[in-house]
Amino acid sequence: MKKKILSILLGSIGGIILLALVIIAPVLMILDFFGANITDGYIENNSQYANEYIKTVKKNIKAKNGYVSLERILYFYLADNSLTFDEIYTDNLDKDSKKLIPISEVCTIQKYKVLDVCKSENISSSGQINEEQAKPFAPPINFSNSNITSFFMEERIVYGKEEIHKAWDISSSEQEPVYSTCDGIVEKKSFPYLINKIDKNGGTGNTITISCEIDNLKYSVLYGHLYPNSSTLKVGDNVTKGQVIASVGTTGYSTGNHLHYQVSLNDKVIDGMSLVDFNYESDYYQPVYPPSLHGYEDFQTSYKN
């Protein structure tokens, strides 16, 4: 009798477990597609996609085509890995506005509409952007003269140390001009380095932080690793969108000349590249260069890209 009861109990438990697996497994699979692996703004284990993504985003941003996040690319790539990062990137940008296309519009394209991720119920719960984005920022640097070397929230190893990089790294030649992305006020300035050198204990090196308010939203933009003596700005100074504020260096915890571009909203880091208007550059690069900007003293305000 005991054996019979035990057999029934085990059968019941096994049946329950089996039923749970049948129900839960598909749910977990769906959640994985729709962002369960995205925590606090970054995609966990994104290092496995980093090389391909950096190659793709570097090419497109250098050509000023616009910006597509890794999250949007993986939304389709994880559903169909026969799609390339490059074609997904291209398909998700409007060629004229250079803005991200709403997810529901992308899902009208034949190769995407057949995917489960493009079912209406999945789109509504995807967390993907489904409206036209505001692009209030000017580029912080001339993208045609620079390269993306690290993306926002990338999992990476620098000098043997694992970290999640909460900014964009944009490499360029020494003393490439750095621009204010918005009209604002110099909130902080720290220029402890008088020589353009790497210091593994130096954090973001020479930095300027500019605060700006756009549509009642308060942004804080930090520019790091700046070249020594490349800025005459002082805390409290007003700056205008597109104005040169300093130049690129490799001061502090760095691996070479590059700009550390970090944006916060209400003290929380956000993806600063998603705010950049890639069409703004038609009237861009017409600032007055500060007299201390080494190597650019002879430039005039009529300089254009």
Q: Encode pLDDT of 3-42 as tens digits.
A: 444 454 345 544 444 334 333 433 343 344 443 244 445 6
Q: Encode pLDDT of 56-104 as tens digits.
A: 999 999 999 999 999 999 999 999 999 999 999 999 999 999 999 999 9
Supply the DSSP string of 137-185, one letter for each residue.
Answer: BPPSS-GGGEEEEE-TTEEEEETTEEEEE-SEEEEESTT-EEE-SSSEE
| Share above pLDDT 90 across residues of the chain, in percent, rounded to a whole number | 75
| Residue 55 in this model has a pLDDT that exceeds 50 | yes
pLDDT at residue number 175 = 97
Buried-state track 101-130, b at ≥16 Cβ within 10 A, e below 16: bbbeebbeeeebeebebbeeebbeebebbe
Q: Encode pLDDT of 149-200 as tens digits.
A: 999 999 999 999 999 999 999 999 999 999 999 999 999 999 999 999 999 9
| Residue 136 in this model has a pLDDT that exceeds 70 | yes
| Residue 278 in this model has a pLDDT that exceeds 50 | yes
**Gap between the Cα atoms of 179 and 188, Å rounded:** 16
Beta bridge pairs of residue 177? 247
**Considering only 30-44, 97-111, 193-207, 214-228, which range has the smallest mean pLDDT?**
30-44
pLDDT at residue number 42 = 66
Average pLDDT over residues 111-140: 94
pLDDT at residue number 227 = 98
| Residue 202 in this model has a pLDDT that exceeds 50 | yes
Confidence band (pLDDT; 50, 70, 90) for 290?
Answer: very low
What the chain holds in terms of domains, given with CATH numbers, is: 39-124 (no CATH), 143-283 (2.70.70.10)
pLDDT at residue number 18 = 38
Tell me the pLDDT of the chain averaged across its residues: 84
> Nearest Cα to 264, choosing from 227, 224, 217?
217
pLDDT at residue number 24 = 41
Q: State phi, psi for 113 to the nearest 5 degrees.
A: -65, -20
Q: How many CA atoms lie within 13 A of 56 on its CB side?
A: 19
| Residue 285 in this model has a pLDDT that exceeds 90 | no
**Considering only 23-32, 131-140, 296-305, which range has the smallest mean pLDDT?**
296-305
Average pLDDT over residues 218-237: 98
pLDDT at residue number 97 = 95
Structure pTM? 0.81
Torsion of CA 168, 171, 172, 175, to 10 degrees: 70
**Gap between the Cα atoms of 170 and 144, Å rounded:** 11
Q: Which amino acid is at 245?
A: I
- The token pair at 46 is 């994104």
